[in-house]
Structure 1
Amino acid sequence: MRLSVIIKTLNEQANIERAIRSALDAVAAVGSGEVIVADSKSTDRTCEIAAQFPVRIVQLSHAEDRCCGVGAQLGYAVAQGEYLYILDGDMTFEPGFVEAAIAALEQDSGLAGVGGQVREMNLDNEEFVNRAQRRLAHFEPGQVDRLDMGGLYRRSALAQVGYFTNQNLHAYEEFELAARLASAGWRLRRLDHPGICHYGHTETSYRLLAKRWTSRYAWGCGELLRQSLGKPHLSFVLTRLHVYRLYFAVLVWCFAAATFVLLAAVNGTPLLALAGLGMLALPVLLMSLRRKSLARGLYAVSAWGVFSAGLLAGLLAKPRREPTDSVRCVSLK
């Protein structure tokens, strides 16, 4: 079989039909393949809608296993394609991308995966506005160190590194995959070709930020670090994921500010308290000036705080399962 498209879903009833139709078109364009809906125990009509199409549906058996890293691994367990694509339920393929990606993999035997250009369709949320404006290096055409937002992977490369995505990770699952592939000598590439449209979350910025914490998405960088300890790809993780420097700096800064406030309370020194509060306010001021907006500056610093706390929480969290363990699931179709 040529292609397996794995669509990760959790309560995607508003998007799933669009994603499936896009995936079926991609399979038809390359001649043979399958579409697998890997569902994280949705509580809406996602699976009911998906069942109306010629797709395979597998679903987690236990809701507590939900995380970003489990979806691709769930689909990988039943996939048969020579090439595999991770597609989120709120994404669609751009015409011609899968054919171009397969051609690139066939022309270069050292490539493990290929991505395309990402078009953000929802720019009402601060997170997605920032993502669209920053133009990070790994979203530029050429050789990249990760394929965030999905990619087409060579099955033989995935088999060599043991598993598709780590089912303990609530985020950074594609980065962890990239780290393992790089350690095994494989390369990744992003084409200068439209790849996918991402419709994203429709929540307000702060509601989404709260969701990032309650879903443990914010814990992902800490979980990644813990899962990488003692592994050959640890140096790749520490040197390539630059948010660690930011989040550790935020933690040190907050600790120093809290120390000033605590000393002020113990010694009755108002100046120390003002110094501590000033330290907390300074990043907001600087980011507001940089982004020319108090609201955007405040949101940026709030996000730093949430994800820095998540770094600690994820680092301390005990992994639930071994990455190579079978995913607990049932087949619905």
Structure 2
Amino acid sequence: MKLSVVILNYNVRYFLELCLRSVQAAIANLDAEIIVVDNQSSDDSCRMVKQFFPEVILIENKENFGFSKGNNIGVAKAQGEYLCILNPDTVVSEDTFIKILAYMKNHINIGILGCQLIDGRGQFLPESKRNIPSPLVSIKKILGFSKAYYANHLSPTDTGKVDILVGAFMVLRKEIYDQVEGFDEDYFMYGEDIDLSYKVLKAGYENIYFGETAILHFKGESTLKDKIYAKRFHGAMQVFYNKHFKSNLVFDIIVWFGILFSRLLFRNPSQIDQNVTSHKLMTKSLHFNTELPFNITTVQSLAEASAHSQVVFDGNTIDYKSVIECMMFSDKDKEFTFRILPRNSKFIIGSDSAEQQGEVVLI
């Protein structure tokens, strides 16, 4: 088998369904499998997978093991030569895996490969490519100086070497994952991708950012940005620092102070004013029969949509690659918000901010 896509899920049933539909389309011509590991979700994620995706391998954990252990459990079942670690709040293009596997076949020293990630408003996510968070870089990031934290030597559409890739989307050979012993289970959530990227670098491989394909990452759907999040995130920073960079008492004190200072500055997320003035259904169909819970105007391109519109993509007639490209190249001055009606589904879904959970409208 060529590819195993491992998706760790926790209480994001509708985002998971959208993700699975996009992954199914992307592996249609590949020898591939999908493994969903559920970390004891309280919603009906598992029932949905069994009902709509019977061919998916579903692992139902009896407790929430966190990101590292949950993914390691899924990888242990994987049969593919390559692994894709994928968040459930993502949408992949139909040609994403084909492009990436072709590139990796011709570059045998690749450790981990990542790609361009955009958020729910079509904005590039800079954490798609990062530098090693050394103590000095981490302190600058904590204090609001993030330039050294991100790998800015590459543009979003470039391809080249980077140090750190994001755990929402990572592709690597299974033998390399096993060689470095996978995700470190000392991390419950956050920091695992940094640690794995760094271990792969130390093992002598190159991590590559591949800007020739993009995926949608709604980001933050599995957790709210609250004080528990802050504690876990900064706890992960401490774990990584202690494992890889602990050097002397002076640095220990500086890093500890920086983490404490960041916690004290943590604020609850502000509400985003969407200013939605109209809804536009973007579809290639001449006859759209599904009844939506708001008034809509049908369009066939974003050029037809007025500013501050909420654009709903009809997944029954538009492929996921086109959805992602429309979001990426939309006129940012028009301040669109975006929703997706997945193929053969009865809901509309989207997210406008990484600091809030997304919106699901049942139809």
Structure 1 residues 141-180: aligned runs within 5 Å: 141-148=159-166, 149-161=168-180, 163-169=181-187, 170-180=189-199
State the shift of 1:11 in Å: 0.3
| Equivalent residue, structure 1, for 2:227 | 210
SS in structure 1 at match of 2:161: strand
| Equivalent residue, structure 2, for 1:9 | 9
State the shift of 1:101 in Å: 1.1
| Equivalent residue, structure 1, for 2:139 | none
Q: Quickly say closer, same or farther: Cα 1:123–1:100, change in 2 above 3 A.
A: closer
| Equivalent residue, structure 2, for 1:40 | 39
Q: Quickly say closer, same or farther: Cα 1:40–1:218, change in 2 above 3 A.
A: farther
Whole-Å separation in 1 of the counterparts to 2:44 and 2:161: 39
Q: Quickly say closer, same or farther: Cα 1:43–1:27, change in 2 above 3 A.
A: same
Alignment-mate amino acid for residue 21 of structure 2: R
C-alpha contact (below 8 Å) 1:122/1:201 kept by paired residues: no
Structure 2 residue corresponding to 1:250, chosen from 255, 258, 283: 258
| Equivalent residue, structure 1, for 2:300 | none
1:101 aligns with 2:100: yes
Q: Quickly say closer, same or farther: Cα 1:251–1:164, change in 2 above 3 A.
A: closer
Q: Which of the two has greater strand per residue?
A: 2
C-alpha contact (below 8 Å) 2:120/2:218 kept by paired residues: yes
| Equivalent residue, structure 1, for 2:116 | 117
Alignment-mate amino acid for residue 71 of structure 2: A
Whole-Å separation in 1 of the counterparts to 2:20 and 2:81: 20
| Equivalent residue, structure 1, for 2:200 | 181
Q: Quickly say closer, same or farther: Cα 1:111–1:213, change in 2 above 3 A.
A: same
Alignment-mate amino acid for residue 136 of structure 1: Y
| Equivalent residue, structure 2, for 1:50 | 49
Deviations 1:226-283 (A, max 9, x none): 4x2xxxxx25x99xxxxx998545368x6xxxxxxxxxxxxxxxxxxxxxxxxxxxxx
| Equivalent residue, structure 2, for 1:287 | none
State the shift of 1:178 in Å: 1.1
Alignment-mate amino acid for residue 147 of structure 1: L
| Equivalent residue, structure 1, for 2:22 | 22
Unaligned runs of 5+ in 2: 129-145, 268-363
Q: Quickly say closer, same or farther: Cα 1:301–1:156, change in 2 above 3 A.
A: same
| Equivalent residue, structure 2, for 1:266 | none
| Equivalent residue, structure 2, for 1:90 | 89
SS in structure 2 at match of 1:51: helix
Whole-Å separation in 1 of the counterparts to 2:125 and 2:20: 26
Count of paired positions:
238
SS in structure 2 at match of 1:49: helix
C-alpha contact (below 8 Å) 1:12/1:89 kept by paired residues: yes
SS in structure 2 at match of 1:74: helix
Whole-Å separation in 1 of the counterparts to 2:213 and 2:264: 32
| Equivalent residue, structure 2, for 1:137 | 151
Structure 1 residues 167-316: aligned runs within 5 Å: 167-169=185-187, 170-201=189-220, 208-213=225-230, 216-226=232-242, 228=243, 234-235=244-245, 247-250=255-258, 302-303=265-266
Percent identity between matched residues is: 22
C-alpha contact (below 8 Å) 1:3/1:84 kept by paired residues: yes
State the shift of 1:115 in Å: 1.1
Q: Quickly say closer, same or farther: Cα 1:121–1:211, change in 2 above 3 A.
A: farther
Deviations 1:291-331 (A, max 9, x none): xxxxxxxx997239xxxxxxxxxxxxxxxxxxxxxxxxxxx
C-alpha contact (below 8 Å) 1:122/1:200 kept by paired residues: no
Whole-Å separation in 2 of the counterparts to 1:15 and 1:44: 12
Q: Quickly say closer, same or farther: Cα 1:88–1:245, change in 2 above 3 A.
A: farther
Runs of 4+ that moved beyond 2 A: 59-63, 128-136, 138-141, 200-204, 223-226, 244-252
Q: Quickly say closer, same or farther: Cα 1:195–1:35, change in 2 above 3 A.
A: same
TM (norm. structure 1) is 0.62
Q: Which of the two has greater helix per residue?
A: 1
C-alpha contact (below 8 Å) 2:115/2:210 kept by paired residues: yes
Alignment-mate amino acid for residue 239 of structure 2: E
